[in-house]
Structure 1
Amino acid sequence: MNTSTPRVESNERIESVSTGVGSWWLYLAVAVGGTWTFWLAAIVLGVSFDSAVGLALLLAGLAVPGVSGVAFVYLVYDERGRVDFWNRVTDPRRIEIRWLVVILLVPLGASVLAGVVDLLLGGPGPMWGEGVTQFGVTPLAIFPALFFATLPPILEELGWRGYALDRLQLKWSALGASLILGSVWALWHLPLFFIEGTYQHDSVGFATTGFWLFMTGALAASTVVTWLYNNTGRSVFGIIVFHGWLNFTAEIIVVPDLIYYPLWFVLASAVVLVWGRKTMTDSPDVSLPPLPSD
């Protein structure tokens, strides 16, 4: 059952629950600052994420947004809000079949379309990722790709979309909330470009063209995620599936960044043009979590 409530409260009521300890900026400061504490420690120690210590620091940093999100939910909301949170995390029935299809088709379609465009422009087209090419020799080689495709979305989205996005949409339009959260989401990744054993360090590099595409691409991806979130009854479960499937398709289908990321900007722009910047839905208002009782 969807226990969220429509945006019918007065402006004063909204402001009273969107400031103070439950404010979006405080959560984001805790999430980014907590993660950076672990990842900057890896930089200072000079450890790679391929090492045991480095992996422990990586996972600890990854866990901060989600752990902080759950903590803020329990700090800010009453029992109704907490039930609403876990319902959004665990109940797939909030997602209509058509939106489940969209969740599964968008990441795959973006990778395949980018590969086709590259082929038409004279490039090699889509290629299989390392996990797929090694699968025939060592079937277990696919598991690292599956692990890193699914674990980060779970650890991240309990906070990014599980807590922060609702708080941002109390004050900002869906597009404004997406751009703020997307900017912070991009910044959150920054230390990874300086640590060996990460995709950002080993495959992209700091201040390269790929770096700027990755960082700005977070804004487009965040906009698409908000669109999906607002159209699936604020389903965190659906966003975890989308984020994980996005990571996995990027792992198994390799396409040029110069084509792949612009496609996400095209999609994000289409979403805003068709559904509108305020809610990115057919409704004039977005649903909110149940507010604490007076």
Structure 2
Amino acid sequence: MYLAVAVGGTWLFWLPAIALGLQFDSAVGLVLLLVGLAVPGVAGIAFVYLVYDERGQADFWNRVVNPRRVGLRWLVVILLVPLGISVLAGLADLLLGGAGLAWGEGVTEFGVNPLAILPALFFATLPPILEELGWRGYALDRLQLKWSVLSASLILGVVWALWHLPLFFIEGSFQHDAVGFATTGFWLFMAGIVALSVAFTWIYNNTERSILGIIVLHGWVNFTAEIIVAPDLLYYGLWFVLAAAIVATWGAKTMTAAPEVPHPPLPTDA
């Protein structure tokens, strides 16, 4: 039910932008963008209060604000993995005869116009917060109660990818302006989100289900992809390699060294 509300609620605001021919750089378009972005997180909070008792609600907010759940070791992983993926994709492209690493548009224009970095900062801050309060903050826990961790990650990844679909038809969005619908980049983007979902679950389950850690990870993925440009095939391909390595090393059942999947304090717990 949450997944239907999150996707349907967002599309309720984004589809009118398509129908009216609005752009996200217009005032009305920006409002529709932001409200749509907020739906997964707002719905996630609402479902937490509908489903869990006081312990579950307190657990949710602790996962949002408590940095101790992440720890230094996993903070290093969070910071190094997205950066490493971008750098390795660029180096691989160079070895294959390509141009290699390139700075994003915001970085190259920063010296002339410091405001050019703002889009990268926007995608690194607000969307991850608004999304992850719901995707990992609520939905992943519920899916992991019924499915293996790998299956839960794939289900959430597919829904997460489909949630982005209207953006490919709205001018002013990254998906429309930089990727395009039904292009090779489109299919790589949609499939790549599923691979990202597996990596996100791995870090989530190994950081005591830290929502804060996932928000930082999501933001850092967005930011590094904005400032360091690498070929999509190699970039998303490496995320698939990482996802496969995670499953092979940590197992599809929990993606942790623990035999059981971490879960929130349920009302039926003693």
Q: TM-score, normalised by structure 1?
A: 0.90
Verify: 1:42 aligned to 2:6, yes or no: no
Residues in 2 aligned to 1:93 and 1:293: alpha-carbon distance in whole angstroms: 27
Verify: 1:79 aligned to 2:54, yes or no: yes
Task: Specify the alignment match of 2:224 in structure 1.
Answer: 249
Name the count of aligned residue pairs.
Answer: 269
Equivalent residues in 2 for 1:95-244, closer than 5 Å = 95-244=70-219
Contact 1:153-1:244 at 8 Å conserved across structures = yes
Task: Specify the alignment match of 1:14 in structure 2.
Answer: none
User: Which deviations, in whole Å up to 9, do the C-alpha atoms of 1:190-210 show, x marking residues without a partner?
Assistant: 000110001111111111110
- Residue type at the aligned position of 1:52: A
Residues in 1 aligned to 2:113 and 2:11: alpha-carbon distance in whole angstroms: 35
Task: Specify the alignment match of 2:43 in structure 1.
Answer: 68
Residues in 2 aligned to 1:122 and 1:268: alpha-carbon distance in whole angstroms: 26
Residues in 2 aligned to 1:236 and 1:81: alpha-carbon distance in whole angstroms: 14
TM-superposed CA distance for 1:140, in Å, is 2.8
Match of 1:281 among 256, 263, 270: 256
Residues in 2 aligned to 1:201 and 1:156: alpha-carbon distance in whole angstroms: 20
Contact 1:78-1:293 at 8 Å conserved across structures = no
Moved more, 136-145 or 261-270: 136-145
Runs (5+) with no aligned partner, structure 2: none
Residues in 1 aligned to 2:255 and 2:67: alpha-carbon distance in whole angstroms: 21
Verify: 1:88 aligned to 2:63, yes or no: yes
Q: TM-score, normalised by structure 2?
A: 0.98
Residues in 2 aligned to 1:148 and 1:178: alpha-carbon distance in whole angstroms: 22
Contact 1:95-1:235 at 8 Å conserved across structures = yes
- Residue type at the aligned position of 2:71: E
Residues in 2 aligned to 1:202 and 1:157: alpha-carbon distance in whole angstroms: 24
- Residue type at the aligned position of 2:228: I
TM-superposed CA distance for 1:148, in Å, is 2.1
Residues in 2 aligned to 1:37 and 1:115: alpha-carbon distance in whole angstroms: 38
TM-superposed CA distance for 1:287, in Å, is 1.5
- Residue type at the aligned position of 1:46: G
Task: Specify the alignment match of 1:51 in structure 2.
Answer: 26
User: Which deviations, in whole Å up to 9, do the C-alpha atoms of 1:12-38 show, x marking residues without a partner?
Assistant: xxxxxxxxxxxxxx0000000000000
User: Which deviations, in whole Å up to 9, do the C-alpha atoms of 1:126-149 show, x marking residues without a partner?
Assistant: 100011111111223222310222
Moved more, 146-155 or 29-38: 146-155
TM-superposed CA distance for 1:293, in Å, is 5.1
User: Which deviations, in whole Å up to 9, do the C-alpha atoms of 1:176-223 show, x marking residues without a partner?
Assistant: 000000000000000001100011111111111101001111110000
Residues in 1 aligned to 2:113 and 2:168: alpha-carbon distance in whole angstroms: 29
Equivalent residues in 2 for 1:254-265, closer than 5 Å = 254-265=229-240
Match of 1:267 among 231, 242, 255: 242
Residues in 1 aligned to 2:222 and 2:121: alpha-carbon distance in whole angstroms: 9
- Residue type at the aligned position of 2:8: G
Residues in 2 aligned to 1:138 and 1:194: alpha-carbon distance in whole angstroms: 28
Residues in 1 aligned to 2:266 and 2:235: alpha-carbon distance in whole angstroms: 40
User: Which deviations, in whole Å up to 9, do the C-alpha atoms of 1:250-288 show, x marking residues without a partner?
Assistant: 000011001111100000000000000000000110121
Where has structure 1 moved over 6 Å in runs of 4 or more?
none
Moved more, 75-84 or 142-151: 142-151
CA RMSD of aligned residues (A): 0.9
